[in-house]
């Protein structure tokens, strides 16, 4: 027995770091079928910031003395092959516990996909300088070459500020990330989508907002994320943006730049295998400019890189050439993907373990992708013909799988293999947008640049309007042929920009060119929108009169017979709603009778209409207890989300003092997704954010900022304007 190992104080630094890392995992994993990748040899080496070969000697000693054990097991997300994993024993836990310092009493909270912390070499001064700036309230752009360790340094700084009780909100960017996606990482799934509302909800003292991998943003979303940084810059939070040089948005106003360089020779040497002789280590470190990733990729026995050889050239000439055929195929599949992948999603996954063992992959949980330096070098080595062929093969493969993610992947490979199929885009873009509108926006932007088909540009314009992106929508509308479709989209754009008068003029011009049936349908849609374009409360009598006259003037006989009943139903619903709000009992009864005749007395919608009538009868500003009890029963019995939300909103409007059950009911539906492609749902979503502001007064301004943006996206400029006035008075 080695006495140095039996005394915890005599553990070597490498042994102590290994045991400390392994001790972070519970003993129950020792018999588990699947274990975290962090317990595999590549994962352990990565977290300790060393090459895999540096683990061999200390691990062998630790295992020989009973401090650790090894076995073969499946690694979570690592495919079907078993891999060597390491577990700490009870003896190892006892030894390391003697060395562990007690955890700080107060640690801040973190939100978002905070990466696993890894040990850094030679970055203590950088970490201190960067954290000092951020702790002093500065905003910093951390820049540098790919693979130089920017994200690892940012993670180390995050750990420092967390240890001081700060809150860290972390976001990692990909090609499909937009401002709303950043907000979800910082705040959670129920985050707002407008930059001002996101910052309103996330800003605060002793808070660090981190935006990592900014260079991965697609040009389609750069402007929105830059606006987010502009909103954050003057706030009370510190902001750390991390990007390869140059950043996609330059140096944001109010930010200073911190450029990360390669490691000094002393620290670069520590990343090479421990048995590398001093002369070779010096030559390799100097040749690779102290680049951390390149140093980890170098293997003993390989030629020393040429002095002055660019890191990219070294990766292409040496790292790529050592891969097997299976490893190369897997790497190529990773490199053509628009985002990270599960190993189980790979079609050519035989080389995944080889890539992981070679330190070529970077992981986020069970998702993997090549280090961006390697990905960029590999992509740059292909000819256009080779790239097109790889993407064309991937199109056919992803076409065999089901679901919106498969369609997103199929669409990406389609646009990168040649001219996109307009019919395919029309058929599938909505399914992609329902799951991730930011991804759909990127796909459409790429398709528009490659195709002259107007239907693709129309889809791009419509999605931009639904997302509230006025400038992008305008750029696509300007490329459409002159006609009714372009005018209607221009009218929507005017409403999005808060110019209802221009919108009415443009819409009237478009409707003058329509056939009678289309004119009638457009008129009904316009009336429904105008009725909804207001905040909760009694309708203005002048508006009520205008709408009533306009509703009475609609001639549904111009509609096809199959659509007349639906048209009449929409008009009678407006009549019924107006009559209830202005206390016109006779008109309400007449509209109710018409609706009952159309739907039948037993139709579930009639119970809702009856409830609305009872809710309109109030004593002292609130509906009766009996009516509220009925409302609660109906709300709890409804499966349709949009109908349940409308009932909740109607009940909220009918009470001065909101009962707890009603507040809880609204909270239960506050984050549930609604379809952004349906105008009715966009309006409902805006109203939902309005009510969140009412029910959560501590976050009212943030919620109402989001409601304003949502009302504009729903083309409800009157409601947006009225709410802005309320916000100004509240401030």
Q: What is the mean pLDDT of residues 490-503?
A: 95
Distance CA(218)–CA(285), nearest Å, equals 34
Q: What is the mean pLDDT of residues 680-698?
A: 95
Dihedral pair phi/psi, residue 586, rounded to 5°: -65, -45
Which helix H or strand E contains 342, and what residues bound it?
Answer: strand 341-342
Mention every residue, 6+ apart, whose C-beta is less than 8 A from residue 526.
507
Nearest to 151 by CA among 344, 360, 372: 372
Is residue 234's pLDDT more than 50? yes
Distance CA(279)–CA(287), nearest Å, equals 12
Tens digits of residue pLDDT in 523-565: 999 999 999 999 998 899 999 999 999 999 999 999 999 999 9
Q: Given this chain, do its domains 3-97 and 110-260 carry the same CATH topology?
A: no
Q: What's the CATH number for 110-260?
A: 3.40.50.300
pLDDT value, residue 251: 95
Is residue 10's pLDDT more than 80? no
Tens digits of residue pLDDT in 623-637: 999 999 999 999 999
Show the beta-strand stretches assigned E in 219-318: 238-244, 255-260
Confidence of residue 574 (pLDDT cuts 50, 70, 90): very high
Query: Which CATH number among 1.10.579.10, 1.10.10.60, 1.10.10.10, 3.30.420.130 corresponds to the domain 3-97?
Result: 1.10.10.10
| Sequence ranges of the domains in the chain | 3-97, 110-260, 265-309, 323-381, 383-480, 673-731
Nearest to 308 by CA among 325, 292, 287: 287
pLDDT value, residue 242: 98
Query: What is this structure's pTM?
Result: 0.89
Tens digits of residue pLDDT in 285-330: 999 999 999 998 988 888 888 766 678 888 888 888 899 999 999 9
pLDDT value, residue 8: 44
161: exposed, middle or buried (C-beta count within 10 Å: 0-12, 13-18, 19+)? buried
Tens digits of residue pLDDT in 147-163: 999 999 999 999 999 99
Tens digits of residue pLDDT in 260-275: 999 998 899 888 887 8
pLDDT value, residue 105: 55
Eight-class DSSP state of 42: H
Is residue 247's pLDDT more than 70? yes
pLDDT value, residue 680: 92
pLDDT value, residue 318: 87
């Amino acid at each position: 027995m080695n006495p140095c190992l039996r005394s915890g104080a005599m553990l070597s630094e490498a042994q102590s770091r290994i045991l400390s890392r392994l001790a972070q995992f519970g003993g129950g994993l020792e018999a588990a079928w699947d274990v975290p990748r962090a317990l595999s040899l590549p994962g352990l080496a990565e977290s300790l910031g060393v090459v895999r070969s540096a683990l061999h000697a200390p691990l062998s000693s630790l295992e020989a003395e009973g401090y650790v054990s090894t076995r073969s097991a499946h690694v979570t997300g690592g495919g079907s092959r078993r891999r060597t994993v390491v577990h700490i024993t009870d003896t190892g836990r006892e030894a390391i516990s003697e060395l562990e310092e007690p955890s700080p009493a107060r640690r801040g909270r973190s939100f978002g996909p905070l990466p696993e912390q890894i040990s850094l070499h030679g970055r203590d001064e950088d970490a201190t300088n960067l954290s000092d700036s951020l702790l002093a309230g500065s905003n910093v752009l951390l820049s540098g070459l790919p693979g130089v360790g920017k994200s690892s340094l940012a993670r180390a700084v995050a750990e420092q500020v967390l240890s001081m009780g700060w809150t860290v909100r972390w976001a990692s960017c990909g090609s499909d990330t937009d401002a709303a996606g950043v907000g979800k990482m910082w705040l959670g799934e129920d985050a707002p989508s407008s930059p001002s509302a996101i910052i309103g909800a996330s800003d605060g003292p002793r808070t660090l907002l981190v935006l990592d991998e900014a260079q991965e943003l697609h040009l389609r979303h750069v402007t929105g994320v830059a606006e987010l940084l502009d909103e954050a810059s003057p706030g009370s939070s510190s902001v750390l943006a991390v990007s390869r040089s140059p950043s996609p948005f330059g140096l944001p106003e109010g930010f200073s730049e911190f450029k990360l360089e390669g490691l000094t020779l002393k620290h670069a040497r520590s990343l090479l295998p421990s048995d590398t002789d001093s002369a070779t280590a010096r030559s390799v470190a100097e040749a690779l400019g102290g680049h951390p990733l390149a140093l980890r990729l170098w293997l003993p026995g390989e030629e020393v890189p040429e002095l002055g050889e660019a890191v990219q050239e070294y990766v292409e000439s040496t790292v790529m050439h050592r891969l097997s055929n299976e490893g190369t195929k897997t790497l190529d599949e990773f490199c053509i993907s628009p985002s990270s992948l599960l190993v189980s999603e790979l079609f050519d996954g035989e080389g995944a373990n080889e890539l992981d063992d070679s330190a070529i992959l970077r992981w986020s949980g069970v998702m993997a992708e090549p280090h961006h330096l390697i990905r960029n070098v590999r992509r740059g080595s292909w000819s256009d013909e080779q790239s097109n062929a790889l993407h064309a093969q991937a199109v056919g493969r992803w076409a065999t799988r089901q679901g919106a993610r498969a369609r997103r992947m199929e669409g990406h490979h389609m646009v990168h293999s040649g001219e996109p199929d307009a019919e395919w885009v029309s058929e599938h873009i909505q399914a992609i947008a329902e799951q991730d509108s930011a991804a759909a926006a990127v796909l459409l932007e790429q398709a528009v640049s490659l195709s002259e088909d107007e239907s693709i540009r129309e889809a791009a314009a419509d999605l931009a309007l639904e997302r509230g992106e006025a400038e992008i929508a305008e750029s696509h509308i300007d490329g459409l042929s002159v006609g009714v479709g372009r005018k209607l989209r221009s009218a929507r754009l005017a409403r999005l920009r808060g110019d209802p008068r221009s919108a009415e003029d443009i819409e009237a011009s478009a409707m003058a060119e329509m056939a009678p049936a289309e004119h009638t349908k457009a008129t009904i849609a316009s009336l429904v929108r105008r009725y909804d374009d207001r905040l909760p409360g009694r309708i203005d009598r002048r508006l009520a009169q205008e709408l009533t006259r306009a509703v009475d003037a609609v001639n549904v006989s111009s509609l096809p017979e199959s659509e007349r009943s639906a048209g009449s139903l929409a008009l009678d619903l407006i009549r019924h709603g107006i009559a209830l709000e202005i206390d016109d009992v006779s008109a309400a009864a007449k509209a109710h009778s018409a609706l009952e005749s159309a739907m039948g007395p037993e139709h579930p919608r009639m119970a809702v209409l009856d409830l609305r009538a009872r809710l309109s009868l109030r004593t002292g500003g609130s509906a009766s207890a009996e009516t509220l009890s009925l409302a609660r029963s109906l709300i709890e019995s409804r499966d349709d989300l949009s109908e349940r939300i409308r009932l909740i909103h109607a009940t909220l409007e009918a009470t001065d003092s909101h009962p707890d059950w009603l507040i809880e009911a609204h909270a239960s539906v506050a984050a549930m997704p609604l379809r952004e492609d349906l105008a009715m749902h966009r309006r409902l979503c805006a109203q939902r954010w309005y009510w969140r502001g009412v029910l959560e007064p501590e976050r009212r301004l943030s919620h109402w900022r989001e409601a304003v943006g949502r009302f504009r996206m729903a083309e409800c400029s009157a409601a947006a304007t009225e709410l802005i006035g309320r916000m100004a008075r509240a401030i």
